[in-house]
Each structure stands twice: as structure tokens, then as C-alpha cells.
């Protein structure tokens, strides 16, 4: 896991996902093909600045928000997606269950 700021995650978001804005979390597979990944799934990058804003909005601690974002990022590495609102809702609920929180999003 890498903790960073909005400026750095914006560069990653733009370069790898084509979105020129900060985001809360981005996951990168170790290898594109599942059979080549081995024991290391990949990397999770979290913007602490965005996490702090979200924690404040949800009236949660920064630690709780970081836990939720890390779980979310790991779920991406396990193959979960959040392309639709329904997928996003399901992922949020699963991430919250994994860390023992109520779904916040």
C-alpha cells in the first residue's frame, strides 16, 4: 500500500485511467493475466487528502476511512469491479464487512 496526496494520485489517475482528477484509491495488478500474478496481487495507492475529506464528510476517523479504502482496493485486486451503481454498492458493503464497519458510501 502506498499513501500519497491528491497531486500524485491525479497523475496516476490521468496516466493509467484517463481521468484528470484526484480519486481516493487506485489498484494496480502485479501482472495483467491472473495466471501470472503469483502470490502478490498488486499495489493499492490511497490519497490521504481525499480520504481525510471523505472521513470528515462521513463523520468517521481517518483510520476508519483508510481501512475502508484499503479493503476496497484489495477487492479490486481480487477481481471485483464498481463500474455500475449496483456493483459499487455491493463492493462498498463487502469492503465494510471485511473490516467490520457499516457501509458508508
Q: Which residues of 16-36 are buried (b: 16+ CB within 10 A; e: fewer)?
A: eeeeeebbbbbbebeeeeeee
The whole-number average pLDDT for the span 53-72 is: 96
Percentage of the chain exceeding pLDDT 70: 96
Residue with cell 483510520: 63
The β-bridge partners of 24 are none
Mind listing the domains of the chain with CATH numbers? 2-99 (3.40.390.30)
pTM: predicted TM-score of the whole model, two decimal places = 0.88
Residues 13-25 have pLDDT tens digits of 999 999 999 999 9
Residues 39-52 have pLDDT tens digits of 789 999 999 999 99
Alpha carbons 67 and 15: distance in angstroms, whole number: 25
Contact 62, 55 (CB under 8 A): yes
Alpha carbons 47 and 25: distance in angstroms, whole number: 6
Amino acid at each position: 500500500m502506498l499513501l500519497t496526496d491528491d497531486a500524485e494520485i491525479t497523475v496516476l489517475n490521468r496516466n493509467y485511467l484517463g481521468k484528470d482528477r484526484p480519486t481516493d484509491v487506485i489498484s494496480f495488478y502485479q501482472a495483467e493475466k491472473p495466471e501470472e500474478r503469483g502470490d502478490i496481487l498488486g499495489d493499492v495507492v490511497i490519497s490521504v487528502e481525499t480520504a481525510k475529506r471523505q472521513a470528515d464528510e462521513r463523520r468517521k476517523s481517518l483510520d476508519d476511512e483508510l481501512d475502508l479504502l484499503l479493503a476496497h482496493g484489495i477487492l479490486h485486486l481480487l477481481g471485483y469491479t464498481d463500474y455500475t451503481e449496483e456493483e459499487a454498492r455491493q463492493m462498498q458493503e463487502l469492503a465494510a464487512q471485511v473490516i467490520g464497519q457499516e457501509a458508508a458510501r
